[in-house]
Structure 1
Amino acid sequence: MNETVLITGGTGSIGRHLIPLLRQQGFQISLLSRERKSIPDVTVYQWDIKKGHIDPKAIQTADHIIHLAGAGIADERWTDARKDEILTSRTQSTELIAQALAKNPHKVKSFIGASAIGYYGGDTADRPLIETSQGGSDFLAQVVRAWERSEDSVAALGIRTVKLRTGVALTMDGGALPKLAQPVRLGAGAPIGSGQQYISWIHIDDLCRMYCQALTDESWQGVYNAVAPNPATNESLTKAIASVLHRPMILPNIPAFVIKMMFGELAITVIGGNYVLNKRITDETTFRYKYADLTNALSDLLT
């Protein structure tokens, strides 16, 4: 194939799983990085988002772009400075790519951009949400709306643009699952808050396969909910982890106010929930899940 995929955020948990998959499909890989790095079989170009600099060769040599870069939502407490970083790391980086595409000769055919189910709001209870559902109004929703708007600036250049609104990606390489599994392993696992808040999850392998199909199948366009078919409640997820690990569940639920005291506004990512459905994936694509069942997904990751 010998086409080149330029990836931002390629050293994050999704990127680390995605790159080998793309290589298996015959793609060459290049990365945008803030630092000079030497990675085997990968061309690394530099960019500086705050200074508005991007190596034009990165754009000129790419056939496709996968844009994963962005400060972690749940890595730190949401101070005003952290909130600003969460927003600008997504919007400014995307706008920088769009500007580089507009200014430089290129052969880019597709742009696959990360997004998040936070678009619908941090806590939407058990209301079923599809891609055309109304967006929320809280901080997360405002971030994702601005993020997707910045991705529209790439689409405006005539480049096929796909936005994958990702749910909770289950992987042992960071994210929520190791944090949920560790207390269960120690016999101290317990549902959080009411335990009835929904978690719209996806196995990391399925998510990366989704990115690959969005890249290679030109019928993909616009927004897709990148979630597994069956959302789980926090309680059912915690019990499923305990079952897979053969550990008891004997403790009462952790009260929501304790989580709020520990994490502040960030607590919404734990005590809030979303019942997000993968309607466009199911109705409009040929994508098939390896891990549509939660227990199978957890067994693959935890054992």
Structure 2
Amino acid sequence: MICMRNMSFTVIGHQQINYLNLSMNSINRVLIAGGTGFIGTSLKNYLENQGYEVGVLTRNRNATAPNIFYWNPATNEFDHHAFAYADFVINLAGENIAAKKWTGERKKQILDSRLQAADCLASNFLSAGFKPKKMISASAIGYYGQQTTNEIFTETSAPGTDFVAQTVQAWENVQDVFENLQIPVTRIRIGIVLSQKGGALPKMTVPVRFGIGSAIGSGKQYMPWISLRDLLHIFHFVLENEFPGEVFNAVSPVHIINRDFYRELARALKKPFFFPNIPAWLLKLILGEMSGLLLEGSRVSSEKLIKEGFIFEDIELYRTLVKEFDETSNP
């Protein structure tokens, strides 16, 4: 049984579209939902370089490029011309979990943005009688909870119980609606993405560039990271292979704790690293519950991906950071 919170929908543009012909003519075409963020933009460019034709869903009504299509998951508006690019669909949509301090309303926005995006896609697939060949959904390593232990979490480990873990579980569970439509789904649990283009790294580098970098809290929490380059390769790897119903952790195979991460970051930027740790109590005072994102971190395994044949390019953190900063300063 297919269950969606809002089955009403708005079709934008011409309603009489031959979806069968679109599907037959759209060889190597990918539609990215949430494709205007730094990961989505990078993924679009990367896949185009690999020979794919890529369409992007955006909430910007003023976008005019021929491969950019308007949607609004909150109101279930969707331009069905986007199906021309939907042989494969990659869903990255969702509010940035660390962009603002968590309030009750902010938590609701974070969760709803993920659930509404999946519902909007599924309800419009259903109404149009359209079925992509494959669905790839972003997820997060926050699934395992904000906890620091020596346990190595794999894709079969139990989920955590905090807000982030519960949000990620709901995010993954809502993808079942596509499987109910007989659309194969693969979920990718993404770690801390290292890129100067966006995400956490530009914020991390600010104090280090000023020579006042230091570890956070105990400094013993793990930081399951992945280079943007390897993350793009993982999406491509999953696109090119069949993994229906599978879940993969997208993290570097090398585990590192916060103190060592910041030491390597300082070394890559040729800056000192001697300041005392930022006290946990201060972050808790400023950020409240959200401080757990910084103060806790789990060891997460990517062994499953490796066993499937994926080869990581960026394994050593220091070399990865140096390469990232060199590419940014010398594009």
Q: Answer whether TM exceeds 0.5 for this pair.
A: yes
Aligned to 2:311: 288
- Contact 2:268/2:322 (CA < 8 Å) preserved in 1? yes
How far apart, CA to CA, are the structure 1 residues paired with 2:270 and 2:279?
Answer: 24
Deviation at 1:170, TM superposition (A): 0.6
Aligned to 1:118: 142
Aligned to 2:41: 16
Matches within 5 A, 1:173-252: 173-219=197-243, 221-252=245-276
Aligned to 1:257: 281
How far apart, CA to CA, are the structure 1 residues paired with 2:150 and 2:99?
Answer: 26
1:73-122 deviation digits (Å, cap 9, x = unpaired): 10000011110000000011111111112221325101111000111102
Deviation at 1:302, TM superposition (A): 2.2
How far apart, CA to CA, are the structure 2 residues paired with 1:191 and 1:33?
Answer: 37
Runs of 4+ in structure 1 off by over 2 angstroms are 36-40
How far apart, CA to CA, are the structure 1 residues paired with 2:296 and 2:260?
Answer: 15
Aligned to 1:105: 129
SS of the residue corresponding to residue 95 of structure 2 reads: coil
Percent of aligned positions that are identical: 37
Deviation at 1:37, TM superposition (A): 4.1
The aligned amino acid for 2:149 is A
The verdict on how the C-alpha distance between 1:268 and 1:39 changes in structure 2, with shifts beyond 3 A counting, is farther
- Contact 1:21/1:208 (CA < 8 Å) preserved in 2? yes
Deviation at 1:203, TM superposition (A): 0.1
The verdict on how the C-alpha distance between 1:107 and 1:156 changes in structure 2, with shifts beyond 3 A counting, is closer
- Contact 1:206/1:290 (CA < 8 Å) preserved in 2? yes
The verdict on how the C-alpha distance between 1:107 and 1:49 changes in structure 2, with shifts beyond 3 A counting, is closer
How far apart, CA to CA, are the structure 2 residues paired with 1:205 and 1:238?
Answer: 20
SS of the residue corresponding to residue 208 of structure 1 reads: helix
- Contact 1:130/1:277 (CA < 8 Å) preserved in 2? yes
Deviation at 1:36, TM superposition (A): 2.4
Which runs of 5 or more structure 2 residues have no equivalent in the other structure? 1-25, 327-331
- Contact 1:62/1:106 (CA < 8 Å) preserved in 2? no
- Contact 1:227/1:276 (CA < 8 Å) preserved in 2? yes
- Contact 2:122/2:178 (CA < 8 Å) preserved in 1? yes
How far apart, CA to CA, are the structure 2 residues paired with 1:50 and 1:5?
Answer: 23
How far apart, CA to CA, are the structure 2 residues paired with 1:127 and 1:39?
Answer: 49
Deviation at 1:154, TM superposition (A): 0.8
Aligned to 2:51: 26
Which runs of 5 or more structure 1 residues have no equivalent in the other structure? none
1:236-268 deviation digits (Å, cap 9, x = unpaired): 000001111111112111100111112111111
* 1:3 is the counterpart of 2:35: no
* 1:127 is the counterpart of 2:151: yes
SS of the residue corresponding to residue 246 of structure 1 reads: coil
Deviation at 1:57, TM superposition (A): 2.4
- Contact 1:126/1:197 (CA < 8 Å) preserved in 2? no
Q: TM-score, normalized by length of structure 2?
A: 0.87
Q: 1:67 aligns with which of 80, 91, 110?
A: 91
1:115-173 deviation digits (Å, cap 9, x = unpaired): 00111102242311000000011100110010001111112222121100001011112
**Over aligned residue pairs, what C-alpha RMSD do you find?**
1.5
Q: TM-score, normalized by length of structure 1?
A: 0.95
Aligned to 2:321: 298
The aligned amino acid for 1:93 is A
How far apart, CA to CA, are the structure 2 residues paired with 1:2 and 1:153?
Answer: 25
Which entry has the higher C-alpha Rg, 1 or 2?
2
1:269-289 deviation digits (Å, cap 9, x = unpaired): 101111100121022x22111
How far apart, CA to CA, are the structure 2 residues paired with 1:220 and 1:51?
Answer: 29
Q: Which moved more, 1:170-179 or 1:102-111?
A: 102-111
- Contact 2:219/2:257 (CA < 8 Å) preserved in 1? yes
The verdict on how the C-alpha distance between 1:220 and 1:282 changes in structure 2, with shifts beyond 3 A counting, is farther
Q: Which moved more, 1:59-68 or 1:232-241?
A: 59-68
The verdict on how the C-alpha distance between 1:35 and 1:63 changes in structure 2, with shifts beyond 3 A counting, is same
* Paired residues, number: 301
The aligned amino acid for 1:134 is A
The verdict on how the C-alpha distance between 1:61 and 1:17 changes in structure 2, with shifts beyond 3 A counting, is closer
How far apart, CA to CA, are the structure 1 residues paired with 2:195 and 2:149?
Answer: 24
